[in-house]
Amino acid sequence: MGRLAIDCRIPWIPPQLRLSGLTALVTLGSLLGADVPDALLKATDALVSGSPQSAAETLAPVVAADPDNADAQRLLGVSLSLLGRRSGALEALAAAARLQPANPANHLALAQALAQFGENRRAQEAFRAALDLDGRLGPAHEGLALSLALEGGLTEAILHFGMALEHVAEASAKARLHFFRGRAHLQLDRYEPAAADFKAATELQPDFGPAYLEWGRVLAEDPADRTAASVLARAAELMPESAEAQFASGQQLLRGGDPAAAAGTLRRAVDLDPANRAAQYALGRALRASGRAEEARSLLGSIAASGSDRALEEARINEAGQLNNEGLQAEADGNVELALRRYEAAAAIAPDEVGFHRNAALALCRLDRWVEAKARLRKVLRMAPGDIDATKALYIALDNAPD
């Protein structure tokens, strides 16, 4: 059977880039020095303390009295952006950029607001304007990278994530950038650099649960990997309320031959997301494999009784297909013993799928286990009379198997 198409790519996040008012203020102080008016200092303090409403109330009369004050316009725009007031924010920030075009902070604040409100194309233009004035602005590189990635410009986004990393010092900011760049690599099916970025994110921020989850998923793509289980277990530990993390960890424990531990983790995933039929099916398999057959029958029976036969069947075939894929990869890597175990597991889950049995039979031939191969090939031919590959292999097995 050919390789089943398993989509392991993870949807891009976030849906919007939230504005950081503090980032937009970084350039303000260095440009204005000690001549900052009291109202602007008061508004800045309000923003820093997390009070954009107070900042907006302070700045509104300043801008009304002097609409050509670019610094007040910028601060007002940042405040209104943080309050979610789109039209007023963009009007003020556009005015700041027009009045003071040589100040990169104006373009950066405008770009961040445009990205926040979903205007990615205009945001990219403003990010580029800020970078043309100061190529060392890490937040501008990051914002441009995120905006590009949201529209599919992943290659350029990866470059700007890298440049942002060169111009930020805070560990948590670096971790975030590695995480985003890793997800961009994943979208391009670049698994090794993605894994390296996710690993770097966890080293910079050891409690970064989503980075452990993505790293573990990449590692799990290699059936011979022995570290995926511990990485995914760490993700599940850090994100106890994430059904996704519990499911990924439980699945890996099940594949790794620890059904008892898998059952506990998968039970948590099901409790968190009762509608997840794939998690319910995996839990049923774990219960069955750990000797709790009655619980398994009850669970799987309840899925079928709920009218979710189709969902159950899809979950079953997807799980078997993934195991088959792992077998194909192991065989390509020269590990036929591991490949056979994966094919056998796939055939046990989906016993009516002839391809899984054929792959297992051919693996037995490659291991010179001719007696077993002969019996398995005959089963394949009963399921699919005239199967060319199985017929050829059976003749070889008959020649090599002892009488």
Asked whether 317 and 325 are in contact (CB, 8 A), the reply is no
Look at residue 5 in the predicted model and tell me its pLDDT: 29
200 falls within a domain: no
- The tally of domains found in the chain comes to 2
Query: Whole-angstrom Cα distance, residue 28 to residue 185?
Result: 35
90 falls within a domain: yes
CA-to-CA dists, residue 345 to 73, 278, 359, 397, angstroms = 65, 17, 11, 23
Look at residue 220 in the predicted model and tell me its pLDDT: 87
**How large a percentage of the chain has pLDDT more than 70?**
86
Indicate the residue type of 263: A
Look at residue 291 in the predicted model and tell me its pLDDT: 86
Overall pTM surpassing 0.75 (yes/no)? no
Domain boundary at 111, 139, 168, which? Answer: 168
Domain boundary at 168, 190, 211, which? Answer: 168
**Residue with more model confidence, 179 or 307:** 179
Output DSSP code: residue 4. Answer: P
What average pLDDT does this structure show over 30-55?
76
Asked whether 257 and 287 are in contact (CB, 8 A), the reply is no
Domain boundary at 118, 142, 168, which? Answer: 168
Tokens of 136: 């060392």
Query: Whole-angstrom Cα distance, residue 48 to residue 55?
Result: 10
Domain harbouring 74, CATH code:
1.25.40.10
Confidence of residue 49 (pLDDT cuts 50, 70, 90): confident
387 falls within a domain: yes
Provide DSSP, 154-191.
HHHHHHHHHHHHHT---HHHHHHHHHHHHHHHHHTT-H
Query: Whole-angstrom Cα distance, residue 403 to residue 399?
Result: 9
Look at residue 306 in the predicted model and tell me its pLDDT: 53
pLDDT in tens, 282-314: 888 888 888 887 887 777 666 655 555 555 566
**Residue 94 belongs to domain spanning:** 9-168
pLDDT in tens, 216-237: 999 988 777 789 999 999 999 9
pLDDT in tens, 107-165: 999 999 999 888 889 999 999 999 999 999 999 999 999 999 888 899 999 999 999 99
Look at residue 302 in the predicted model and tell me its pLDDT: 65
